Amino acid sequence: MNMPSLMDRLPHAFLLMCYCFTCVSVYGLEPELTVPQQVSLSSDMSAQQLSISWLGGAATTFDLMILRTELNKTVIYETVSVPVNPMNSRHQWNWTSVEPLECTSLSVQIRSRDGQMTSEWSNTQILQGSDLPSNKKFQMYPQDRVLPVGANITFCCIVEEGKFFGTMYTVNIGIMNTTRLSRRSYAATLVDLHPTGRTGTNILCYDNLKTKLTGAVMFVGYPPLLTDFVCETRDLTSAVCQWNEGRDTHFYARRETFYSVNESPKQKQIGYTVNQWEGNWTLVAVNPLGQYSLTDSAELGHRVRPVAPTNLFVPVNARNATVLWQWEYNSYSSLPLVCQVELNSHGYKTTVCGQWFCRTCILMKITVFKSAVVPSRISGSGETGAQYFPLKTKLLAPRLC
């Protein structure tokens, strides 16, 4: 019997080897990563924040690259972990720019990553800046920015089309160091800001011939920080609330602090009257940098600040006089008040009387001198009147026992 030759057996061996290698190569392949799709950009210019969202399949790690479009210069290249939103199957990542987003156009690309493996880059998406050739005017950003003391800020100047950049200038620093962002856009950064005056601080930008000028204003100050919030009553019905505004915020006009007590309409004035005693109050102070709140609470009888008596009258006898007065509020009859009458005669001052529920006080053993018109004053009222009595009398504002 003839045995098969090596050449006869070779095709079968070759096929078997190819088959085996095919199995190894097929089962050894890892699945390809999904290229991010439907990349979309949205911006919040005032916050200088760019929001990027995309469809990325099952991947949770991505490389993001943002470049300045005109100069093709990388602003940020970062690997981030972004889980999928189960509500819309999209990934979202937010980025805050040092420069205002209006300064120049930005290009965005994303790719999926798994360890050392990466997908292809997504299609480039561009956030248009204000330095496009179609926007020819001289511009500066940001405008009218309000900042806390100690903050940093970057301004950019976009030169008018056909002109050349000159300098950026501010009073406190002089000529500022600048960085070129695009063909027409230049940026400068201010650090560790100090409080500004009533009209803020100007940042100016000139062309090279100083024939063109643009600028911006910044306002630097503090958020509100109040102290000593307390509410009292004078008539046993309403509440008068007072507070101390604390440190100077360095903000004025529409940027100054506004106050509200128990959600009352906002006001600039310090002090507020609540028509009905509520027992609990919340003071909220708000300015462009934030808000600050204080609370106070008290029972009605524990926060009474009596007002001065009215209609003071002094009938005089040979050796005594009676001081009569009235209360401005009838509700005082329910209070245990201690009243005092101060006598002034020939440089001597005497305080007499201490009565509960007092309405009168009889002054005994006084020396009567020649009768004269002597002004008398009710303490706390600020009013004076003429009394035919040789002594000056002053009824002090009552106090609670």
Contact 82, 39 (CB under 8 A): no
Residue scoring higher pLDDT (374 or 393): 393
pLDDT digits (tens, 9 = 90+) for 156-199: 999 999 999 999 999 888 999 999 999 999 999 999 999 999 99
4 pLDDT higher than 70? no
- How far apart CA 230 and CA 274 sit, in angstroms, is 12
So what's the pLDDT on residue 344?
A: 74
- Give residue-wise pLDDT tens across range 88-100: 889 999 999 999 9
Q: What mean pLDDT, rounded, does the chain reach?
A: 83
Order of strands across the sheet that contains 239-244: 227-232, 239-244, 272-274
User: Do 181 and 68 form a contact (C-beta atoms < 8 A)?
Assistant: yes
Burial label for 369, CB within 10 Å (0-12, 13-18, 19+), is exposed
Higher-scoring residue by pLDDT: 361, 376: 361
pLDDT(321) > 80: no
Of the listed ranges 53-62, 329-338, 365-374, the least confidently predicted one is 365-374
* Residue of 194, 190, 191, 212 whose CA lies nearest to 203: 190
Instruction: Say whether pLDDT at 31 is over 90.
Output: no
Q: How many CA atoms lie within 13 A of 64 on its CB side?
A: 26
Confidence check: pLDDT of 14 > 60: no
In what helix (H) or strand (E) does residue 18 lie, and over which residues does it extend? helix 6-28
Residue 239 corresponds to which tokens in the numbers above?
A: 């509440």
- The residue to which tokens 């990325």 are assigned: 56
DSSP helix/strand/coil, 314: coil
Q: Grade residue 12 by pLDDT with cuts at 50, 70 and 90.
A: very low
